[in-house]
Structures are given as C-alpha cells and as structure tokens.
Amino acid sequence: MPAAIPASGPTPGAAPSPAPTAPHSRHPGLVMPVLAFCGMVVAVMQTLVVPLLPHVPDLTGASPGAAGWLVTITLLTGAVFTPVLGRVGDMYGKRRVLLASLGVLTLGSALCGVSSDIGVLITGRALQGAALAVIPLGISIIRDELPADRVLSAIALMSSTLGIGAAIGLPVAAVVMENFDWHTMFWASAALGLLDLLLVLRIVPESPVRSHGRFDLPGTLGLAATLVGLLLAITQGPDWGWTSPRTLGLVGASVAVGLLWGWFELRTVSPMVDLRVSARPAVLLTNVAALLIGFAFYANSLVTGQMVQEPTNTGYGLGASIVVSGLCLLPGGLAMVVLSPVSARISAAYGPRTALALAAVVMAVGYVVRFFTSHSLWLIVAGATVVASGTAIAYSALPALVMRAVPVSETAAANGLNTLMRSVGQACCSAVVAAVLAHVTFVVGGRTAPTLHAYLLIFLIAAGTALAALVATLFLPSDGTGAGRGPLRSRVDGTVTVSASVTAARESA
C-alpha cells in the first residue's frame, strides 16, 4: 500500500463521517463495469435526439424553435442537477443518489416513448438531463470503493464514457430513425435505464464516506438561477440576437444573482459549493481547463455529421446519409475505449497535469488535421478520431486533478462542478458553431448553405480553445507537488489513503 501523504483537509461543516458499517460488494470485480455501463447509457441519452431534430417539426407539429428545446432543456437540467446531486451524494450516500438519477432517466425516457406531444417530450428530456450526475457520482464511488492501484484506470474509463457513449449514440440513433418508429430509441433508453438500476442495486455498495452539515437550499436555488439564466442566454443567443433585450437581460440578471449567490456561499457554514476550495489554483484552473476542453470536444461532434451530409454541389460536401455521418464518429468512440487505460498509465507515470497538457496538444493537432483534410471521408474520420483520442486523455486527467485537490468528503460535489464546466463549454461551443454556420454562408442549388470557410473557421477556433486549455494546464501546480503522483489520496481521519480508510472501516464492521 502506498505511503500516505497529507492532502486537502476537511472544510468547516463538511467533515467526513467514519461510517464503519459500509457493506462489501458481493461482486467487487463488477463494480467498475457496472458504473461504466451506467455512464455510457447516460451519454447515449445526451446525443439520442440529434439525428431526430430536423424531423421533429414534421413528426410533432412543433416549430423548429420548440424542437431545439429537446437539446436545450437537457443541457439546462444537466447543468443544474449535476453539482447539486453531487453534493447530495456526498451528504446522504452516493449510491442512493445514483439510483435516484437512474430512476429519473428511466422515467424521462418512458415519457418520451409514449407521446408525440412536444411538451411531454421536452419534459421527458428535462428528466433525462438530470441523469448527467451519474458520471461524477460514479467517479466518486470509484475513489471510495476501489483499491488505490486501480483508481486511476477506473476513473479514466468512467470519465471517457461521456465521449464513448456520444460516439455510439449518434449512429445507433440514425439507424433507428431510418428503420424503426422513432419512439423505439426512447423505449430502448428506458430499458437500459431499468437495467442500470437493477445492476447498481445488485452490484454497487454504498460508500462509507459522508460529509456533515445541512443541505444548502438557498445556495442551490441561487446556483440554479444563475446557471439557467446564463446557459439560456448562451444557447438562445444565436436565435434571439446577442444584443437583444432578452439576451442582455438574462446575462445581466445571471451576473447579479451569481454575485449575490457567491456572497451568500462565502458566509454559510455548509455551502452548496465551497468557493474557498474552488478558488484554489489547483481546482480553479482545472475547472477552466474543463470548460475549454468541453468546447474543443463538442465542436468535433457538432460539425462532423453536418459537414459530410452537405450535398456535393457545395464543392466540399460528400452527400453522406444520416447513418454514414453518425458512423464517422464511431472510430473516435472506439479509440476512447482503447485509450482509457493508456491515459491512466500516463497519469500514473507522469502525473495528471502532464496528461492533460498532452491531451490539449493532441486535440489541437487533430483540428489542424481536419483543417487540411476536408475533402476526403477517411481523412475527416482520421482527424475526428485524433480529436477524440485527445478527449479521452483529457477526460481521464480532469477528475484526477480535481480529486487530489479536494477533501475526500467533497469529491462528488467537486466532480459535479467539473462536469458542469464541461457542459458550459459545450453550450458555448454550440452557440459559436450555430453563429458561424448561420452567418458564413453562400447560395448553392437554390438553398443557403455554410461555406467551407465556415467549417475551417470552426476548426481554428476549436484548436485555439484546446491550446488555451494547454496554457491553463501549464499554470497548474506541478505533478511533483501537492498530492504527488500515483494513486489518489486524501485525508479522512488524520493522514491516510482513501483506500486504507475505507478498508479499515470495513474490517471493523
């Protein structure tokens, strides 16, 4: 067992409880596969409706603007509930909250499966979005439950499920759209959610680690109001106009509420988000890098399918079908599976800071490849796969950086905040991509289409964002300081490793 070293201690009102009665899993070797499967199901749900969106107005009678809410509402509820459920998991039990999240996912999927009414569909998608908390909750359970020598590789796989599931979800949804009733994919999502529930009940034990304190309801409401206003302005800005009263009003209100929320959080004993911990350079810069990585990752997913589906008369489009366009991202998803253990080894050998820096460089290189190879399908796929490979390394390093910088009793909340920052980055990317594709256009064949330069500009912006993430990473504390290299550690009672504290609790049961 590795020697223990000091790490971040508990903050006021968030001391971990010993909880010596934590149960063993009857199938310890299956805990990681079950959690990873849960993460992939949630990620598939995120991208499930993308091939459906152009057809929603015809299928439901809704306007194109209303159809867009099938994506927007999922982003909003995911952003709000991810840090909130992470904090609730730290306080009341991560497995318990994980089960609740999966239950909400299943319910939302079933709602979408039984109706063609746009209001019901939006409600179901809102419930599905809340399940995004499954991934940070799973990462925190991994830290609490697995032996120290398996933590990094398990975190790498769990983190990568967001990209893996997204890459798998697009082609699967496209195949369903072309061959079955569109409700089928929601029923499949509901069935997978139910299977997740049964597997977690059977396999995953409750974590023994808890934080004390009251649930911060005012802080939760303030965070929700800030995020909803900000993300709504970002996602609707291209349609409303960036200088419209609605957009500017939402931004101004979000800033005002956010400042008031921050003032309150600094003065409460058990804050929803511990801003003092979040302001530490190791945490703050990691979250900034997460936002930038989220932006760079999402550009790859957004433009690849649309670009290859453009008709050949544009001079660059390949006229590919929905299924082919979805399959273009599948090699990237497979690369993320393969690279998960590799990225964990990089973090173990050289530290997560080095791994994140490498990831940012790989993503930037991927976009440079895409910039110069826009007329060949296999080269487009190659460039997209390089970007996905960098994403896999980044998604492994980010939670490792977070968890070595925060108390063990706050890991779910801290990972939830980091996942939130990735979502904010994706929202910003969606707005930028929509603005570029809508304004850098030409008329061809009687229709307005984005020019090739629009896509090339997006690749340059994404590459620049990846390099900005590299800069943020270089300002992080070096891998030779702070928590050190190797297995993730934190203080529970005195100076002990996480795995040691959990093992001791179980042996005393």
Please give the pLDDT value at position 16: 44
Residues 6+ apart with CB under 8 A from 235: 72, 75, 76, 427, 430, 431
Q: What are phi and psi of 450, to 5 degrees?
A: -65, 145
What pLDDT score was predicted for residue 108? 95
Over the chain (509 residues), the average pLDDT of each successive run of 10 is 39 42 62 91 84 82 80 83 86 90 95 92 92 88 83 82 78 83 92 95 84 81 88 82 90 94 88 83 93 93 86 88 84 86 86 94 95 89 94 90 81 80 86 85 84 94 97 86 43 35 37
86: which 2 tokens? 């992470």
What pLDDT does residue 479 have? 64
Distance CA 188, CA 173 (A): 10
> Residues 71, 429: contact at Cβ < 8 Å?
no
Q: Where are the domains of the chain?
A: 16-216+268-507, 217-267
Find the helix or strand (DSSP H, E) in which 231 lies.
helix 217-240
DSSP letter for 63, please.
-
Q: Report pLDDT for 5.
A: 34
In the prediction, which pLDDT does 486 show?
Answer: 41
DSSP 8-state secondary structure symbol assigned to residue 29: G
24: buried, middle or exposed (CB in 10 Å: 19+, 13-18, 0-12)? exposed
SS3 sequence, 291-343? Answer: HHHHHHHHHHHHHHHHHHHCCHHHCCCCCCCHHHHHHCCHHHHHHHHHHHHHH
C-beta atoms surrounding 117 within 10 Å: 13
Residue 373 identity: T
pLDDT of residue 26: 64
Assign domain 16-216+268-507 to its CATH architecture: Up-down Bundle (1.20)
Instruction: Tell me if 208 sits within 8 A of 506, measured CB to CB.
Output: yes
Residue among 388, 481, 423, 6 nearest 168 (CA): 388
